[in-house]
Amino acid sequence: MELTTVWFVAIATLWTGYFVLEGFDFGVGMLFRVLGRNEPERRAAISTIGPVWDGNEVWLIMAGAATFAAFPEWYATLFSGFYLPLFAILVGLIIRGVALEYRGKRDDATWRGRMDVMIAVGSLLPALLWGVAFGNIVRGVPLDADHEYIGGLGTLLNPFALLGGLTFVAVFVTHGAIFLALRTTGDLRVRANRLATRTGAVAAVLTIAFLAWAQVLRGDSMSLALMIAAVVAFAGGLVANVARREGWAFVGTTLAIGLVVVALFVALFPDVMPSTLEPGSTLTVVDAASSPYTLKVMTIITAIFFPLVLLYQGWTYWVFRKRVMVAAS
């Protein structure tokens, strides 16, 4: 495989990992206040993501840094073009991160209430806007001959991208609810399970609509196969959820999110930023890539260290595999 293709795959992998992992902690962040009826329940809900959310978020930092290193032109065009949505995502992630850490540091209901709002908003905003961003990447945006974005904010808020945003939110909410059902006990577990069924139905409809539209815009037979697999996995997850098989339900949503992201990247390849204007101003993997030397050294280093990262991140999930109990109030 060409090194540029290797790095395209690497970046697709990082985004896939990011949405699978942070997907459920975004979901928990949006839901814990709705599902948790009192403080001990809320605490238990949020403790399910406590040890891992920060590590999950590093997948995003890695996706950004790897794009910078392997495809500088892509990084430059994407981040300067999607300026305001990215700014809003950053604000969301900032208030969320701070609130998650600070929530339990004061025993005071008003304080916790404020932090809870920050967590919910800070989970919703990035989930929605990443969906909008990916919708636009797949659909294409106006780029000039220098691969410079020349649209405005309104260009980004097109119907397809907005549908992408809603789809991401609905899928992450479902993914998070299933994760909560998997990781808690008692009433909370039952409620999370029921909620996952309801939001799952909505998410399934949105996902099918979004994927079908994406396929019409820019699909091939490979992406179609992956999209069908994603829908099947999601449906399977929902069936398992109804049957109260939480582990299998989580495997289902995990697979579904992974397959959706992979399908979008497959549909995109070999472009990284399609232009809706001249076909010549479309940015491809080859236009955007770093030099062969840079790609080579990065490939070697990543091949050595990335498995190590997977190993210790996996270990974290193993250490905290026990269900979180709701403390007696």
Least distance from other proteins to the Cβ atom of residue 169, Å: 21
Binders of other proteins among residues 216 to 255 (CB under 8 A) are none
Tokens of 269: 């390849």
User: CA–CA separation, 122 vs 129, rounded Å?
Assistant: 11
Least distance from other proteins to the Cβ atom of residue 196, Å: 22
User: CA–CA separation, 150 vs 45, rounded Å?
Assistant: 43
User: CA–CA separation, 202 vs 190, rounded Å?
Assistant: 19
Stretch of residues binding other proteins (CB under 8 A), selected from 22-30, 174-182, 229-237, 296-304: 296-304
H or E element in which residue 327 lies: none
User: CA–CA separation, 120 vs 96, rounded Å?
Assistant: 8
Least distance from other proteins to the Cβ atom of residue 7, Å: 10
Size of the site for other proteins (CB under 8 A): 71
CB atoms closer than 10 angstroms to residue 104? 14
3: contact with other proteins by CB under 8 A: no
Task: Identify the CA nearest to 92 among candidates 64, 68, 51, 120.
Answer: 120
x-marked contacts with other proteins along 150-169 as a string, rule CB under 8 A: x-------------------
34: contact with other proteins by CB under 8 A: no
9: contact with other proteins by CB under 8 A: no
Stretch of residues binding other proteins (CB under 8 A), selected from 18-26, 74-82, 176-184, 254-262: 74-82
Give the residue, chosen from 66, 211, 238, 249, that forms a contact with other proteins under the rule CB under 8 A.
66
Asked whether the beta carbons of 48 and 183 are under 8 A apart, the reply is yes
Tokens of 34: 């709705």
Stretch of residues binding other proteins (CB under 8 A), selected from 51-59, 128-136, 188-196, 226-234: 51-59
Give the residue, chosen from 65, 145, 190, 201, that forms a contact with other proteins under the rule CB under 8 A.
65
In the bound state with other proteins, the residue whose beta carbon lies nearer, of 93 and 277, is: 93
Least distance from other proteins to the Cβ atom of residue 306, Å: 7
Question: N- to C-terminal Cα distance for the chain?
Answer: 58
Give the residue, chosen from 62, 128, 178, 257, that forms a contact with other proteins under the rule CB under 8 A.
62
| CB-based burial, 78-101: b 16+ in 10 Å, e otherwise | beebbeebbeebeebbebbbebbe
Give the residue, chosen from 58, 121, 212, 232, that forms a contact with other proteins under the rule CB under 8 A.
58
Asked whether the beta carbons of 50 and 42 are under 8 A apart, the reply is no
43: contact with other proteins by CB under 8 A: yes
Tokens of 81: 């073009």
Give the residue, chosen from 105, 113, 201, 270, that forms a contact with other proteins under the rule CB under 8 A.
105
